[in-house]
Structure 1
Amino acid sequence: MTQDWRLKASVGLAFLLAGCSGAAIPRATPPRATAPPPTIVKPVQNNNLIGNSADAIGQMFGKPRLDVAEGAGRKLQFAGTACTLDIYFYAARAGAAPVATHVDARTPDGRDAEVNGCANTLRR
């Protein structure tokens, strides 16, 4: 009888363990890393310089007083007795040529100036 009990216990344990060997619980897979969408620079200003290349701006005003690389952008500065003009260039999308996307104009004492008026006084 002792062996009979052991046999029944072993068989019961085998059935119990067999019930645990079902399909594995699926594990969540981490999401695939995707590249961020390309940055698109959209001009918010409306003046005669927006959208021009640095070469086109150089033809309009000559040699800049400053030519500074700033991260992914570039700034050209033109100055005269009436005003100073800062023109910022960024590529609209990866691989595109940089164009003027923002322009600041100021008087010699630091007050804001009208961009198109300043540009007209600085033209060659």
Structure 2
Amino acid sequence: MNTRKLNEFKKNSGLTNAKIAEITGITLSNIDKITSGNNTNPKLDTIQAICKAIGCTIDDLDDVPDNKKDLPSRWEALRPEIEKLSDDEFLELFKYVEFLLWKKELELRNRQK
């Protein structure tokens, strides 16, 4: 979730954290933690309630860069080149992708601690 975007929508709504807490029934301390970025893994229903109160959707808070949103079409464009790889080269690519996924999982675990 992109806290910067959340706070932009909050500012545009004119609502304070206290008012959002009142509207949603979520504790003010939880709203404060989420909007400050101290709670990096809030519950889905909590974010949905905040979004409803400030007039946005969860998709509006998407933190995937625009250049990654077209990834499926970019991947398809790479398919012919990937198919040209030898078995060993493909295995190397596959291992690298597995490494990147492992690294990302490790980063997520470390952030949650």
TM-score tier (shorter): under 0.3
State TM-score, norm by structure 1.
0.25
Q: Please state which structure has a larger fraction of its residues in helix.
A: 2
Higher RCO structure, 1 or 2 (CA under 8 Å, sep 6+): 2
Query: Radius of gyration: which is bigger?
Result: 1
Q: Could you tell me the TM-score, scaled by structure 2's length?
A: 0.27
Which one has a larger percent strand, Structure 1 or Structure 2? 1
